[in-house]
Amino acid sequence: MVTTLDVWYTADGRTMVGRLAVPDGPGPHPAVLLAHEGAGLDDVQRARADEYAALGYAAFALDYIGGGQPVADREWMYAYLAELHADPDRIRGLGAAGLDVLLDAGGDPGRVAAVGYCFGGAVALEMARAGDDLAAVAGLHPRLSTTRPEGARRVRGRVLVCVGADDPLIPAAERLAFEEEMRAAGVDWRMHLYGGVQHSFTHPDATAAGIAGLAHDPSAAAHAHAAVLDLLRDTIG
């Protein structure tokens, strides 16, 4: 059995609303922090928290935009995400606020993983670059670039990124720069690259959004999800 609830909290001067899902029974539980796509926290991400909790993890789908809702104004979203990308400490603060909620709810501070989708992948990766105690970080179609590549030296855990080879938002040059960043820092990392796959391939509504470069790919999504679960089993149990 799983207990779920929406949690109101404050981060970056905004009221955030995230989805908490915790297995019934005594904790602490291995903890999974989830960071949503750039378009905001939606029902798909809330359901992910529930799914991880059903597997025995305390899970929190954080909110890094505010209000716990999808974004209606995409121009505003692009500008906001650009602001965040330029300020990695601000990104890390948004992630850390969500992590506080998760640990307060019974997540084991010694067994924490962060899983991010789209710009949420940047949130997870910037937390790792800041030296947060994360046993594992997974990014699915994540923003890979950073303004502080030197932070990779502070990464403590294993890193997995899953990327579509035809993703126009994560071009080959960005993938190569990330590879060089990880290698130079001696990080234990993996990159899964899916041929013919575009951005947001894990989101079931990506194709229906009608935005060039976004497309759901069920096969790649299933493979990436299985890879994340393997990573979690190997690192946090």
Structure tokens belonging to residue 160:
């997995």
pLDDT per position as a tens digit, 145-188: 999 999 999 999 999 999 999 999 999 999 999 999 999 999 99
Residue pair 159/129 in contact (Cβ under 8 Å)? The answer is: no
Over pLDDT 70: what percentage of the chain?
A: 100
The reported pLDDT for the residue numbered 97 is 98
The reported pLDDT for the residue numbered 124 is 98
Assess whether pLDDT exceeds 90 at residue 26.
Answer: no
CATH label of the domain that carries residue 229: 3.40.50.1820
> Peptide bond before 28: cis, by omega within 30 degrees of 0?
yes
Band of pLDDT at residue 72, cut at 50, 70 and 90:
confident
Assess whether pLDDT exceeds 90 at residue 34.
Answer: yes
H or E, element range at 231: helix 218-235
Residue pair 19/2 in contact (Cβ under 8 Å)? The answer is: no
The reported pLDDT for the residue numbered 4 is 96
In the predicted model, what is the mean pLDDT of residues 52-73? 95
Q: Among 1, 105, 109, 3, which residue's Cα sits nearest to residue 62?
A: 105
Q: Among 22, 33, 108, which residue's Cα sits nearest to residue 64?
A: 33
CA distance 19 to 80: 22
Query: Which are the contacts of 180, defined by CB distance < 8 A and separation ≥ 6?
Result: none
CA distance 137 to 102: 16
Band of pLDDT at residue 87, cut at 50, 70 and 90:
very high
* Residues paired with 63 in a beta bridge: none
Least confident of 32-36, 44-48, 92-96, 207-211: 207-211
Residue pair 215/153 in contact (Cβ under 8 Å)? The answer is: no
pLDDT per position as a tens digit, 120-137: 999 999 999 999 999 999
Per-position DSSP letters for 106-137, written without gaps between them: TEEEEEEEEEEETHHHHHHHHHHHTT---SEE
Domain count, the chain: 1
Question: pTM here?
Answer: 0.97
Assess whether pLDDT exceeds 90 at residue 104.
Answer: yes
Assess whether pLDDT exceeds 90 at residue 27.
Answer: no
Which residues constitute the domain of residue 16?
A: 2-235
